[in-house]
Structure 1
Amino acid sequence: MIADKSPNYISQEDYLSQEEESPIKHEYSDGEIYAMAGASDAHVTIAGNLFALLRNHVRGTGCRVYMADMKAYVESANSYYYPDVMVTCDARDRELKNYKKYPCLIVEVLSPKTEAFDRGNKFYDYQKLDTLVEYVLISQDHQRLDCFRRNAQGIWTLQFYDPGSEIDLESVDFRTSIEALYEDV
């Protein structure tokens, strides 16, 4: 016997179709959709700073940087998320218009309402992406960045960065000061 789907269940195809027309963004997790809330000035500034720095860094390398409006598709979790910043260097992603499946770097700027989910279930889903090397969580309240990095054995390790630190994102061979990330915040 097959269990009934939730009364709020929406198919992946219906989600993608509706999302193209929707005036607000929604994340999708295994048949359920969740509206995205607006972001604070600090949140947008931090994400924008990182996007600009990374965009300049990867220019001409074949890698692409996306900010806020591009979905990451985690096929094995049947989920679509909108990372604050995402980098993909995989040629297969060039064929995908509305989402990316092969990112090497995903960044989330934390907010009080999303921090537990970003650190918990969303990270659990992101770990299923074989191409993902680094998952970065950035505080908007304090100069602090947590970089989860998958090592050669497939084990996730954590590197903290705080004031005075030089941030090192190995997935894209990128370095910058934490102060540059928080400029104008």
Structure 2
Amino acid sequence: MRVQKAFAPWKPARCAHHRDGGIRAACRDAGVRLWRYLSIVDDCRRVFDWIERQSEPHELIDGVPVSIMAGARQSHNVATTNIVVALVLSAKTKGCRATSSDTAVRTGQYGVRYPDVVVDCGPPDPSAKEAARPTVVVEVSSPGTLAIDLTDRIDEYQAHEDIQVIMLVEPDVISVKVYRRDVHGLWTTEKYDDVEQSVDLPEVNSSIRLRDVYDTLEPKSRPPR
């Protein structure tokens, strides 16, 4: 997860012709947020096309574009790569694909997030820009984003009906927190703080060792609580 900075909502200059004049008027309203605008009028430019044209990557939070500042630390990038490598082959046995932060996940009607790792178990589509059925999402926290990861993102992911497992990884401290949806649809929490432990992920035919998550890194042990 990279540091975010606020970004003013994108305001459409105009709408394509539409049979409903009321909707056209709503689209011209400067207060209409990007995602809401695009969800109303499907013949205006798509949100992912807009995101791709920006000089910086963006997420969409409640319809408001927020730029994601690049330049994550090496520990963040190494941990992210280690997790993808640990998941990619085993997830494939269940018809799932493990990808890194270029795969979008829709969060609610007006949101788009880019988790650090996504395991997508939906139908494959080489041209897709978003996960069809995100089953596992992983956020590798940075010091400035841990509070955000623990609040807004977790809430959004838990509201997504397809997501079964959320992993929150701290790259500089041996700490992995797992949120898992049980058979009743309730969320349980698991904590791991020993490199000899493994996180079982039967949802995607996988198991990931903390030793593999932190491979080549030198994380500190979490202080006793």
Q: Do both proteins adopt the same fold according to a TM-score greater than 0.5, normalized to the shorter chain?
A: yes
Aligned counterpart, 2:212: 180
Q: Which ranges in structure 1 are unaligned for 5 or more consecutive residues?
A: none
Identify the match of residue 88 of structure 1 among 120, 123, 133: 120
Identify the match of residue 134 of structure 1 among 165, 186, 189: 165
Taking the TM superposition and a 5 Å limit, the aligned residue runs for 1:1-185 are: 9-11=33-35, 12=38, 13=45, 15-38=47-70, 39-74=72-107, 76-91=108-123, 94=125, 97-163=128-194, 164-185=196-217
- When residues 77 and 178 of structure 1 are mapped into structure 2, their CA distance, relative to the original with a 3 A threshold, is same
Question: What's the CA shift for 1:73?
Answer: 1.1
Question: What's the CA shift for 1:28?
Answer: 0.3
Q: Which amino acid counterpart does residue 172 of structure 1 have in structure 2? A: V
TM-score in terms of structure 1 length: 0.87
- How many residue pairs end up in the alignment? 181
Give the number of the structure whose alpha-carbon radius of gyration is greater. Answer: 2
Aligned counterpart, 2:5: none
RMSD (Å), alpha carbons: 2.3
Q: Which ranges in structure 2 are unaligned for 5 or more consecutive residues?
A: 1-25, 39-44, 218-225
TM-score in terms of structure 2 length: 0.73
More strand, by proportion: 1
Cα distance in 2, alignment partners of residues 88 and 178 from structure 1: 22
Question: What's the CA shift for 1:20?
Answer: 1.8
**Alpha-carbon displacement from aligned partner over 1:115-160 (angstroms, at most 9, x marks no partner):** 1121111111111211111000001121110000000111100011
Instruction: Find the residue that maps to 1:100 and give its secondary structure.
Output: coil
Cα distance in 2, alignment partners of residues 171 and 77 from structure 1: 25
Percent identity, aligned pairs only, is 24
CA contact under 8 A between 1:165 and 1:178: conserved in structure 2?
Answer: yes
Q: Which amino acid counterpart does residue 57 of structure 2 have in structure 1? A: K
- When residues 121 and 61 of structure 1 are mapped into structure 2, their CA distance, relative to the original with a 3 A threshold, is same
Instruction: Find the residue that maps to 1:118 and give its secondary structure.
Output: helix
Question: What's the CA shift for 1:95?
Answer: 7.6
